[in-house]
Structure 1
Amino acid sequence: MTATSSRPGALDAPPVTLRRVRLGAGGPLSNVRIANGLVNAVYPADAPNAHPGDRNIDLDGRTLLPGLWDAHLHIVQWAGARRRLDLSGAVSARAAAECARNRAAGMPPREMLIGYGYRDGLWPDQPHKDLLDALLLDRPTVLVSADLHTAWINSAGLALLGRADHPTGVLREEECLKATAQLPAVPQEVTDRWVLDACHAAAERGITGFLDFEFADNVTDWTRRAGAAAVPVRVAAAIYPEYLDAAIEAGLRTGDVLDALGGLLEAGPLKLFTDGSLNTRTAWCHDPYPGIASGRPESHGVARIAPEELQAVMRRAAAHGIEPAVHAIGDRANEVALDAFEAVRCRGRIEHAQLLTPKDVPRFGALGVTAGVQPTHAPDDRDIADRHWAGRTHRAFAYADLLAAGARLELGSDAPVAPLDPWLTIASAVTRTRDDRPSWHPEQRLPLVEALAGACRGRRLIRVGDRADLVVVDTDPLTADPHTLRRMPVHATMVAGAWTHVPD
């Protein structure tokens, strides 16, 4: 299968009728007409041909779904990670270092080695620059954790980044972000080409749009990419605090459709952070982490912003129509984020919402706060959570509880933390496992129809007048077993009435 070269959103695309397609999961066999970028008509498959001049495509009983969205990813990091050393299988710091040594053996001299994807929360040994130095003394090496909150760097890499005196080479949170921002830049045209390749790969899996939380000036970057090539997805471009003034001056409001990408680009929310992550043990929690003395400042995780400062920034953004998207993983962080939404009384999102107290679950629905969640994290982090959140995991990744309490759920991958594949996301939400083990806290599984809605930006039906952002799959998700659901065969993808992925 391959993507087409046509630019999505072109309203001069000729009308097409999709014949004999099931209208949604478990839906009736229907014909669906697409014209001017919209769903123009829906009628029974055995009805007379109402539009004889259309191009007709017989889909032979396949299932037509609303286009899939990834509600949280970092596209440049994902595009780069697809070409970097994958350390997700490393079971120890030594194993990760040996994997890096093996990769370095085939690289040009002095080229920096960058790896990603390790989870050290369960390692029997600790990462340290001395371990990397023993195996990669002269090779600048930077290894970034799966959660993007830790960078493990050897002495040669630290020297290049102006941190030669760092005692351990393990940089966390702000220190990590600053260090990774200093990594040797890939030429802009190369990065943009990698991003475009990643977007086409996403279209092949049924993605029609995503919310990009890349740590960058995203509106500017996507406007530039729009001028170079046809992008096969819609993009909501998140705004970071350092670009807030410019966004306000430009009159941007969350949800505004911009001219770039042929009208497929929209202004996203303002990204703010309250805490760190579970694997790094910097998620801000009410209870201390095991093995860390309760009197130490980091015993309960890391608070990355004072509550009063969070409220002030949210209030200023909301006054200009820019909704906040607040990163909160620990239960204390989520409480502070919800308190801020209650004080400011604005629309917005909490990203991750991984650990919640029972009293905070109903506040999402009551305050109208969207929970942007990443279901693949639950099976990926189950063992780490069992160790570091022992006794509390019944309220971790509590998607069913949130749904029952009236919260709006939007599903994403957090790529590169997890692969950019919506079917892995959906399957993880439905099964709460990714291997042969039983479901982890199965009471928090989502029904398939709810997982699909969460992966379609809330769209549940295909109706006349809707944007023709659609995906055709070979198997009805309602009848798919977990294995098939994870590897769902995608037949074709359409954005604004134009094919972005079609069979060869």
Structure 2
Amino acid sequence: MRLTTLMLALAAALPAAANAAAIVDNANGYTLNAAGKLVKFTALAYDDAGRIIAVGSSKAVAAKAPAGAARIDMQGKTVLPGLIDAHGHVFGLGEVATSADLYSPATLAAALQAVAVFSKANPQRAWVMGKGWNQEIWKLGRFPTAAELDAVVADRPAVMERVDGHAIWVNSKALQLAGVTRETPDPAGGKIERDAQGNATGILVDGAMDLVNKVLPAPTEAESRGALDGALALMAKMGLTGAHDAGIGVREDRLFRDYADHGKLTTRIYAMIGDTTADFDQLSKQGPMQSYANGLYALSAVKLYSDGALGSRGAALIAPYSDAPHTHGLLFYKNEEMLAKMEKAMKAGYQVNVHAIGDAGNHQILDAYAALLKKYPAAAAQRHRIEHAQVVTLADIPRFKELGIIPSMQPTHATSDQNMAEQRVGPQRIKGAYAWHTFLKQGSKIACGSDFPIESPNPLAGIHAAVTRQDGSGMPAGGWYKNEAMTLTQAFRCFTLDAAYAARQEKEVGSLEAGKWADFIVTDADLFKVPAADIGKITVLQTWVAGKEVYKR
């Protein structure tokens, strides 16, 4: 994935027409109805507020449209509900364009060259930042080291974030500024990778990343606005009319509200407050906010972490890693500490969404939900979630349905992780990993996302992965554990109506029905007729939010 050049090109002002009542006609339209069934239409009408009046045949819609409504001729092109990413990191997506691109390099040498080029091109930066490295792709059989990074950046601190966001690779200057020495103990929920002599190697996993993060300078206002501009432009291009931002603070909240107030928020943002610490205490003073600026922004959820990621072996497993028997990974908190965080958010009326990747992390959080929902049965209405639900014991999967917990999952994680996931957990545990069909069969609603910028923000790539269990190059042939694939309609639902349901917004967005917002996209091919292998190649031509065009190719 290479987002940098694309995002810089897109960050220019987006087109925005004034709201006016209109009839979208001559469309090859598909939507889901209230029951979640796929239906076709040729026209829809919306009022001057951007709310849908009618959907159906051209004749039926014309009869209900207001007099003088403009007619927009789609010339037979495919029209779909706007797609929703149920788990991403908006500012992180925007920051990709201003960091060294480590998503693309296929070797350590190429990654070091990318850092060297970026560092040389940005001499004004006090810190050299990068994102996207993955030692599995480099086939090193180990993590990279500070010494290797020192060879290309020695004059300034350098911090390179792993593709999953759960480990950083830093140079010696950064370790020195962070005060990390051989005597520094591993912090709670974190690990400092060390050599045989006990010296820090330059890899800090999960909670250990805070040692460096606390000395990193905060982004400037201009940098934050630039990141948000870039992310919004890219999301509009990808056909995302909604995104659930998995972990924000006071700074991000202020900018989201400001952009919403000034008509610049071109993707609806459903935000989760990161953790229940100081930012939560400040942002929760007025209680949960389900809708701001005509539904452009919501702040009624909290994001917590139970464990790390599989690639860096930070995900917490019940039994040791199959390819590293000396470790189980990391639970970030003891059970009572995790329960206290979840209870604080739940008592305040917030939806609680907890990152859990390993089977021990998922088990811990399911146990906590069971205890809390017994204590606060009315809180079930908040539709609490587990983010990722990536490796789950077969005995724990039914508990999601029993407790009413939504599995919020990312289809491209499976196709990206296929090169290491089974090595990490072995042939038995993999049966409960990325188990979409098993969850759907029991009646769970899956909210689909990408976890951008860890993966591409393209939701059509996500639908492709969900249906084929293959990556963008069609590997592996036949699909990876194809028995857990979704049908096309299921995949479409999880990026539309069920993603909206996971934000308690299914009466406002997620499908094209009377009374809902006119959030829709126009594509160059028919999602329901192209070969499955070509789904990820479909191009979005237009993106509309509340009857306003926010992107045109």
Within 1, Cα distance between the matches of 2:483 and 2:323?
A: 29
Q: Give the superposition deviation at 1:325.
A: 0.3
Within 2, Cα distance between the matches of 1:39 and 1:481?
A: 31
User: What corresponds to 2:171 in structure 1?
Assistant: 154
Within 2, Cα distance between the matches of 1:95 and 1:275?
A: 30
Does residue 244 of structure 2 align to residue 211 of structure 1? yes
Structure 1 length-normalised TM: 0.90
User: What corresponds to 2:264 in structure 1?
Assistant: 230
Q: Give the superposition deviation at 1:291.
A: 5.0
Q: Check conservation: 2:44, 2:61, Cα contact below 8 A.
A: no
Q: Check conservation: 1:211, 1:235, Cα contact below 8 A.
A: yes
User: What corresponds to 1:196 in structure 2?
Assistant: 229
Helix, strand or coil: the match of 2:385? strand
User: What corresponds to 2:518 in structure 1?
Assistant: 468
Over aligned residues, Cα RMSD in angstroms? 2.5
User: What corresponds to 1:6 in structure 2?
Assistant: 16
Could you say if the C-alpha distance between residues 365 and 73 of structure 1 is closer, same or farther in structure 2, counting changes exceeding 3 Å?
A: same
| Structure 2 unpaired stretches of 5+ | 1-9, 32-37, 183-198, 374-379, 499-505
Q: Check conservation: 2:177, 2:215, Cα contact below 8 A.
A: no
- For 2:167, the aligned partner's letter is T
Within 1, Cα distance between the matches of 2:362 and 2:426?
A: 18
Within 1, Cα distance between the matches of 2:384 and 2:62?
A: 45
User: What corresponds to 2:115 in structure 1?
Assistant: 100
User: What corresponds to 2:132 in structure 1?
Assistant: 117
Helix, strand or coil: the match of 1:501? strand
Q: Give the superposition deviation at 1:300.
A: 0.8
Out of 469, 474, 499, the position equivalent to 1:432 is 469
Could you say if the C-alpha distance between residues 499 and 340 of structure 1 is closer, same or farther in structure 2, counting changes exceeding 3 Å?
A: same
Structure 2 length-normalised TM: 0.83
Q: Residue deviations 1:213-264, cap 9 Å, x none?
A: 24533433422444566111111121121233234421225xx1124xx541
Moved more, 19-28 or 278-287: 19-28
Within 1, Cα distance between the matches of 2:233 and 2:214?
A: 26
- For 1:308, the aligned partner's letter is E
Q: Check conservation: 2:41, 2:56, Cα contact below 8 A.
A: no
Out of 304, 321, 324, the position equivalent to 1:289 is 321
Helix, strand or coil: the match of 1:284? coil
Could you say if the C-alpha distance between residues 465 and 3 of structure 1 is closer, same or farther in structure 2, counting changes exceeding 3 Å?
A: farther
Helix, strand or coil: the match of 2:254? helix
Out of 60, 64, 81, the position equivalent to 1:66 is 81
Q: Report percent identity of matched pairs.
A: 29
Q: Check conservation: 1:3, 1:502, Cα contact below 8 A.
A: no
User: What corresponds to 2:435 in structure 1?
Assistant: 398
User: What corresponds to 1:493 in structure 2?
Assistant: 543
User: What corresponds to 2:303 in structure 1?
Assistant: 271
Could you say if the C-alpha distance between residues 449 and 181 of structure 1 is closer, same or farther in structure 2, counting changes exceeding 3 Å?
A: farther
Q: Check conservation: 2:14, 2:233, Cα contact below 8 A.
A: no
Does residue 421 of structure 2 align to residue 385 of structure 1? yes
Q: Residue deviations 1:461-482, cap 9 Å, x none?
A: 4221222111222222111224
User: What corresponds to 2:91 in structure 1?
Assistant: 76
User: What corresponds to 1:448 in structure 2?
Assistant: 488
Give the count of matched residue pairs.
491
Helix, strand or coil: the match of 2:151? helix
Q: Check conservation: 2:45, 2:61, Cα contact below 8 A.
A: no
Helix, strand or coil: the match of 2:420? helix
Q: Which has the higher contact order (CA 8 A, sep 6+)?
A: 1
Q: Give the superposition deviation at 1:195.
A: 0.9
Does residue 279 of structure 2 align to residue 251 of structure 1? no
Could you say if the C-alpha distance between residues 37 and 29 of structure 1 is closer, same or farther in structure 2, counting changes exceeding 3 Å?
A: closer
Helix, strand or coil: the match of 1:24? strand
Moved more, 222-231 or 235-244: 222-231
Within 2, Cα distance between the matches of 1:433 and 1:490?
A: 21
Q: Give the superposition deviation at 1:124.
A: 2.7
Could you say if the C-alpha distance between residues 461 and 220 of structure 1 is closer, same or farther in structure 2, counting changes exceeding 3 Å?
A: closer
Q: Residue deviations 1:259-306, cap 9 Å, x none?
A: 4xx541111311111111001101011120145454xxxx11101112
- For 1:191, the aligned partner's letter is S
User: What corresponds to 1:87 in structure 2?
Assistant: 102
Could you say if the C-alpha distance between residues 221 and 363 of structure 1 is closer, same or farther in structure 2, counting changes exceeding 3 Å?
A: same
